[in-house]
Structure 1
Amino acid sequence: MNLDHPVASSLLPVVLLIGIGFVAGRLKLIRGEAVRDLSNLVFLVLVQALLFRSMATAHLERLDLTSVALYYVVAGAMFFALLFMRGLNSRSAVLALASIFSNTLMIGVPLVQLAYGEAALVNLFTLISMHALVLLTLATIVIELLVAREQAAAGQAAPRHIALTVAQAVKNAVLHPVPLPIIAGFLYSLTGWGLAPVVERPLKLLGDAFGPVALVLVGVTLAQTAIGRHLKGALVISALKTVVHPLLMWAAGRALGLSGLPLTVMVVAAALPVGANVFLFSQRYHKAEDLVTASVAVSTVMAVGTVSVVMGLLTRV
C-alpha cells in the first residue's frame, strides 16, 4: 500500500496509536484500575476544551446547515432502526450509536483535506460543528429514557410519569459532558468577543491531546479485552458503520438529486470508522464496553480498505 495515499496516511496513525496503547496495556504500563481515571480525564477535561474552543471560535455565519441536514436524517433513521431491531434497551442504544458515529475529526479532516482539498473542508467542518451536539445529544436523551425505564422495571427507582421522565432525560442530556461545552461555546461565540490567546492556547493544547490520548486508551482497554469473544459482533458493527452507513447516505443523496462535492463529503464521512467518543460514551454508561472497544479498533483497520473502495466508487458515479 502506498503510505502517501490519503486513506493510508490518515488511518495508519490511528491504528498505530491504538497499537501503542495495546502494547502499554499488555506490558502493564497502565494498570486496569487507571483506565477509568484516564477515561474521566479524556471525557471530563480534554473533550470539554476541544468542544468549547471549536464552537467558541467557529464562524457560525459561514455554516451551510442545509448541506448536512440529510446526513443527520439518515444517521437518525439508521440509529432508531437498529435500536428497534436490537431491542429497546440502553445497551442497544450504545451499539446503535457505534454504528452511526464517525471519527470525523482525527481521520475525517486529514483524509478529506488530502483527497479533496480546502473546498471540501468547508462541508466537513459544517458537519463536525454539529456532529457531537446532534448525535450524542440524541443518544443521551434516548439512553437516559431507557435507563430510567430499566431502573423502574428493576425496582431501583419509582416509576414516573412519561413527561417527568422525558424532562429528566432532557435535563441529563443538556447537563452532560458533551452537549454542555458545545452549547456554552455556541452562546459565547454569539458575543463576538473571541478568545484571548492566554485562554485559547491552553484550550487548544488540551483539545489537541484528546484524540491521541483517547485512541491510546482504546488500545489499553483492548489489551484487557478478550477480543476473540467480541470479534463477530465487532465485525457486524464495523460493516454497518463503514459499508451500510455510506451506502444509505449515497442512496438518499442521489434520491434527492444531490451530486458533486457535497454528496461526496457526506458519503466519505459516513464511511469513516467508529469514533472514539462512542468508546467513552459506553464507559460512562457501563454498557457494552468491551464490544465497543473492539468495534473502534476493528472498524479502523477495516476502513483502510472500505474507505478506499468508497472513494474509488465515488469517482465513477
Structure 2
Amino acid sequence: MTLDHPVVSSMLPVVLLIAIGFAAGRLRLIRGEAVRDLSNLVFLVLVQALLFRTMATAHLERLDLRSVALYYIVAGAMFFALLFIQGLNSRSAVVALAAIFSNTLMIGVPLVQLAYGQAGLVHLFTLISMHALVLLTLATIVIELLVAREQAANGQQGHRPIAATVARAVKNAILHPVPLPIIAGFLYSLTGLGLHPVVERPLKLLGDAFGPVALVLVGVTLAQTAIGPHLRGATGISLLKCVVHPLLMALAGWALGFGGLALSVMVVAAALPVGANVFLFSQRYHKAEELVTASVAVSTAVAVVTVSITMALLARWNPLGG
C-alpha cells in the first residue's frame, strides 16, 4: 500500500495531527492544565461556527435523503442496542456514540473524493449535512436524560416528578453547545437570506480550524493517558466502529435493495474511525475520557486496514453502476 493509496493519503494527516499533539503534550508545550481550556475553545467556539455555518448554508430541500435515511436507522439501532447491552447510564451512552460516530469530515471527504470522485462527494455531503443534527442531537438528549436520572438517584435533584425531570433534561439537550447552533442554523437557512461574506468568512475560518485543533487536542490528551489499561476497551470500540458498523450498513442496504455508488459511500462512511466530536462529548460530560481518547487513536490506526478491505469488498460485490 503506497502513500498515494486513497486510504493512506486520507488517514496520514489525521495520524500526523494526533502525533503532533502527542509530542506537544509530552514536551509539555501544552500543559495538562490547559487541556480543559482548549477543549472549551473547540467545543464552545470552533464547533459552534462549524455547525451553524453548515446548517445555515445547506440547501436541505435539494438533498436526496433516501440514501442517508438507512444510515441513520442502522446507526440509531446500533446505538440503542449497545446502550442497553452495556447498561443504561451516561458513560455507556458516550461509549455507544463512539461506536457509531464517524470522522466523516477530516477523513471521509478526502477519502471519498479520491476513491469515488465528485459524484461520491454528493452522497457524502448529504450525509455530513445531517450527521451532527441527527446523531449528536440524539446522543445529547439521551445523555442528558441519563444524567438527570443519575442525579435523581443520587439525591441531587430531590424528589422532582418524572415529567419535570424529563422536561429539564430535554431543555438542557436543546440549550446545548451542539444542538443549539444546528437548530439556529437550520432556522436561519429557512429565511433564504444566505450568509454575507463578512460573516461567512470568519465562520468558515473558525469551522476549518475545528478538525486540526480537535485532533491535536486528542494527541495532547493521549500524551497524558496510559493507553495500556484502555487498549482492550479501545480495540473493542474500534472493531465495533470499523467492522461491525459498516457490516450492518452493508447487510441492511443489500437486504432492502440498495446498491451502486450511494450504498458504497454509506458503507465507507460507516467504516471510518471514531470522530473527534465523541472525544469532546466525553470531555464535556467527564465520562470515559481516557477510553474515548484511546479509541480515537486506535480506531484511526485500525481503519487503515479495515477501510481498505471494506473498499476492496465493495468494489467486488457492489459495482458502482448497480
| Residues 95-124 of structure 1: CA deviation (Å, up to 9, x unaligned) | 000000000111111111110011111111
Alpha-carbon distance in 2 for matches of 1:122, 1:184: 24
Alpha-carbon distance in 2 for matches of 1:169, 1:59: 31
Which residue in the other structure is 1:60 paired with? 60
| Residues 55-94 of structure 1: CA deviation (Å, up to 9, x unaligned) | 1111222111121111111001000110111111110010
Q: Secondary structure at the match of 2:316?
A: coil
Which residue in the other structure is 1:73 paired with? 73
| Residues 164-209 of structure 1: CA deviation (Å, up to 9, x unaligned) | 2222222111111111111111111111111111111111111110
Which residue in the other structure is 2:171 paired with? 171
Which residue in the other structure is 1:119 paired with? 119
Q: Secondary structure at the match of 1:315?
A: helix
Question: 1:1-317 alignment to 2 at 5 Å?
Answer: 1-317=1-317
Residue 156 of structure 1 deviates from its aligned partner by 1.5
| Amino acid in structure 2 at the alignment position of 1:137 | T
Alpha-carbon distance in 2 for matches of 1:162, 1:115: 50
Structure 1 residue runs without a partner (length 5+): none
Give the TM-score of the pair, scaled to structure 2. 0.97
| Amino acid in structure 2 at the alignment position of 1:124 | L
Residue 158 of structure 1 deviates from its aligned partner by 1.6
| Residues 139-164 of structure 1: CA deviation (Å, up to 9, x unaligned) | 11111111111111111222433322
Alpha-carbon distance in 2 for matches of 1:100, 1:298: 15
| Amino acid in structure 2 at the alignment position of 1:255 | A
| Amino acid in structure 1 at the alignment position of 2:106 | M
Structure 1 residues 159-168 or 118-127, which shifts more? 159-168
Alpha-carbon distance in 1 for matches of 2:118, 2:77: 30
Cα 1:141/1:159, change in 2 over 3 Å: farther
Structure 1 residues 97-106 or 143-152, which shifts more? 143-152
Number of residue pairs aligned between Structure 1 and Structure 2: 317
Alpha-carbon distance in 1 for matches of 2:91, 2:199: 38
Q: Secondary structure at the match of 1:316?
A: helix
| Amino acid in structure 2 at the alignment position of 1:300 | T
| Amino acid in structure 1 at the alignment position of 2:272 | L
| Amino acid in structure 1 at the alignment position of 2:67 | S
Alpha-carbon distance in 1 for matches of 2:137, 2:168: 13
Alpha-carbon distance in 1 for matches of 2:101, 2:162: 28
Runs (4+) of structure 1 moved beyond 6 Å?
none
Structure 1 residues 59-68 or 39-48, which shifts more? 59-68
Alpha-carbon distance in 1 for matches of 2:185, 2:149: 32
Structure 2 residue runs without a partner (length 5+): 318-322
Residue 212 of structure 1 deviates from its aligned partner by 0.2
Alpha-carbon distance in 2 for matches of 1:251, 1:125: 22
Alpha-carbon distance in 1 for matches of 2:154, 2:187: 40
Alpha-carbon distance in 2 for matches of 1:71, 1:224: 35
Question: What percentage of residue pairs aligned between the two structures are identical?
Answer: 85
Structure 1 residues 38-47 or 139-148, which shifts more? 139-148
Structure 1 residues 13-22 or 148-157, which shifts more? 148-157
CA RMSD of superposed structures (Å): 0.8
| Amino acid in structure 1 at the alignment position of 2:153 | A
Alpha-carbon distance in 2 for matches of 1:256, 1:159: 47
Alpha-carbon distance in 1 for matches of 2:135, 2:169: 15
Give the TM-score of the pair, scaled to structure 1. 0.98
